[in-house]
Structure 1
């Protein structure tokens, strides 16, 4: 190859990169203008000073590595991969390391912070084991590294993400936190979604629910374990935690009970579930006070994994993170910490390996047939799971209530 030919190849190879760099430079300029013209007036209206605003965004640029970004002029698309663990394979989410690590360290924290946990339970009615389950999952009891500049994350996602208005509101709340001096100067670090501190509160949740657990007049979710414990408990209480109910029970669901009965909108008395043949895996009867209360069938992997009867408290846990697997992990780890329980009786099947775009195609096909799948977002939530089961039953198939690759040719 001649030197001239090599030069021509290199020039053409670099053209797309130059165009992309120019496009990103233009978008960056739009971002800085958006900060000045949209974010600053609203922040000022909420009492944020010019000094706080300028310090917050000093050196901040768009972070193009964040998920679910929609640059100006780009169509919104369902991503092929979902980075958040809560929406992946159940077996992977409940892996040995995560379960054992959260349990072993949780027992240490239960001993170390027994007083703060007891105080939180007395004040808010939330059991210490549940607080520990959330604390462990969110930040490994404060040990997890929080990687991102929170202003960069929320600025980027407020400017160009699939939920831009939500993240813009969170950005304003973050500026209010900075203005009030709630956080130490080095603490404005967050997850890829903008969550803060040991309980991983979004900024608006900090403003609503952060609590002073050690009585020093401050709610410090960054450095104070007592404040972290109290803040998690207060959040759950404010979202409706019922002190006289557990979160749920692993059960066996007979074949005669359809998996399409899953969901918080299809609840019935737990005694009625028992009369249908749904039984606890440990062979014990449901507690009498629980039997009188309402329960809901939960099958996160359809017929391919463990099944549960859960209480309203399960959906309070889900308010913390809108994932069935998250709420289930928290409740399960809490039980392991306090009661020494082992793994679930049923094993997780090999499910959850489809692209979100594949699941979204199935969802749109089901919607066209009149099913309520909860939105074509590519995630197999309970509405999608039971819609698949209803479609299977209508087509003479055994209902498994979970999307799999074999369905793709039929649901497209």
Structure 2
């Protein structure tokens, strides 16, 4: 099997030993914060917003460490999926689905997204809201901008975070996220929040930290805008014929199910593919042809817009299937 760099950041990477020193350190951080605040004032943010946002600003050495040393995993899907979706998580996903069923079905109907996928994303991203990250988002984003490797990107995210604070969606003390600034139960970066977060409960705040209606609707709104289709699933594991042309295995290559059938692609039990002329799909080989192979539908592409990792998409899809067909 090939070796694969990690494409999904483990939440465990949020909690790192703080003792390694890098080129970007605390020495100039206070001056950088002053410069950031001056620039923010020029952009129209109020003194009150900035005093609130930066009152407890701190340099996160752990963020710099995580960015410079993202872990590499030598895994295949067959070893990754049991870790990403252990039995206890699959069981909990069904319990959470049933606990919030009425709200999920309401949100799913409004946005055209099957509720099981909302729950699956919630489970993979933050273990159903229990691991959202303990980093102050403004400090994390300022640290990453100060570190300098991707200053423009993280400064843009910081401006968006300040807008979220200025609009009153969340108190700064509750604005917690990952070392890179991904926030709340959906792990939205601030730019995704501004584009897709929803005030579903109508309280005037888009609260992806505490409001389940806002959490579910924001996730569904993201998927809707990514091209989600509620009349098909995400994909299916398939068998390839001997001698299959692997150059066809790409999300850029779309064929009808009948065309893939004619090329010898079959369901895992060897039976024919579904008879639907309206579905375009791609063959995806995340590892190699000896590992898991998927026939990826439009919703696979939508999930890739959320996180450009075949492992992430496979984990979300697998968990959604476990919700749909729970084991007794």
User: Structure 1 length as normaliser, TM-score?
Assistant: 0.69
* Residue of structure 2 equivalent to 1:56: 53
SS in structure 2 of the partner of residue 288 of structure 1: coil
- 1:90-169 equivalent positions in 2, closer than 5 A: 90-96=77-83, 98-144=85-131, 146-169=133-156
Distance 1:199 1:90 in 2: 23
- 1:381-396 equivalent positions in 2, closer than 5 A: none
Distance 2:150 2:249 in 1: 28
* Residue of structure 2 equivalent to 1:82: 70
* Residue of structure 2 equivalent to 1:308: 294
* Residue of structure 1 equivalent to 2:253: 266
* Residue of structure 2 equivalent to 1:350: none
Structure 1: give runs of 5+ residues left out of the alignment: 1-19, 71-78, 343-412
SS in structure 2 of the partner of residue 110 of structure 1: helix
Distance 1:211 1:84 in 2: 35
Q: 4+ runs of 1 displaced by more than 6 Å? A: 20-23
Q: Deviations over 1:39-80 (max 9, x none)?
A: 33443355421222133223423222225789xxxxxxxx6x
* Residue of structure 2 equivalent to 1:31: 29
SS in structure 2 of the partner of residue 94 of structure 1: helix
* Residue of structure 1 equivalent to 2:8: none
Distance 1:165 1:148 in 2: 21
Q: Is the 8 A contact 2:285 2:293 kept in 1?
A: yes
Q: Is the 8 A contact 1:248 1:308 kept in 2?
A: yes
Q: Deviations over 1:338-386 (max 9, x none)?
A: 12379xxxxxxxxxxxxxxxxxxxxxxxxxxxxxxxxxxxxxxxxxxxx
Q: Is the 8 A contact 1:126 1:241 kept in 2?
A: yes
- 1:315-394 equivalent positions in 2, closer than 5 A: 315-340=301-326
User: Structure 2 length as normaliser, TM-score?
Assistant: 0.85
SS in structure 2 of the partner of residue 333 of structure 1: helix
Q: Is the 8 A contact 1:68 1:162 kept in 2?
A: no
CA RMSD, 1 decimal: 2.6
Q: Is the 8 A contact 1:47 1:176 kept in 2?
A: no
- Looking at both structures, which has the greater relative contact order when contacts are Cα pairs under 8 Å and sequence separation is at least 6? 2
Q: Report the CA distance between 1:310 and its aligned residue.
A: 0.2
Q: Report the CA distance between 1:148 and its aligned residue.
A: 1.3
Q: Deviations over 1:198-217 (max 9, x none)?
A: 11111111111111233334
Distance 1:112 1:314 in 2: 26
- 1:149-298 equivalent positions in 2, closer than 5 A: 149-289=136-276, 291-298=277-284
Q: Report the CA distance between 1:29 and its aligned residue.
A: 4.4
SS in structure 2 of the partner of residue 297 of structure 1: strand
32, 40, 44: which one aligns with 2:41: 44
* Residue of structure 2 equivalent to 1:65: 62
Structure 1 residues 51, 220: closer, same or farther in 2, change over 3 A? Answer: same
Structure 2: give runs of 5+ residues left out of the alignment: 1-19
Q: Is the 8 A contact 1:69 1:160 kept in 2?
A: no
Q: Report the CA distance between 1:240 and its aligned residue.
A: 1.2
Mean CA deviation greater in 116-125 or 251-260: 251-260
Number of residue-to-residue matches in the alignment: 309
Structure 1 residues 46, 180: closer, same or farther in 2, change over 3 A? Answer: farther
Q: Is the 8 A contact 2:236 2:295 kept in 1?
A: yes
SS in structure 1 of the partner of residue 86 of structure 2: helix
Distance 2:53 2:165 in 1: 8
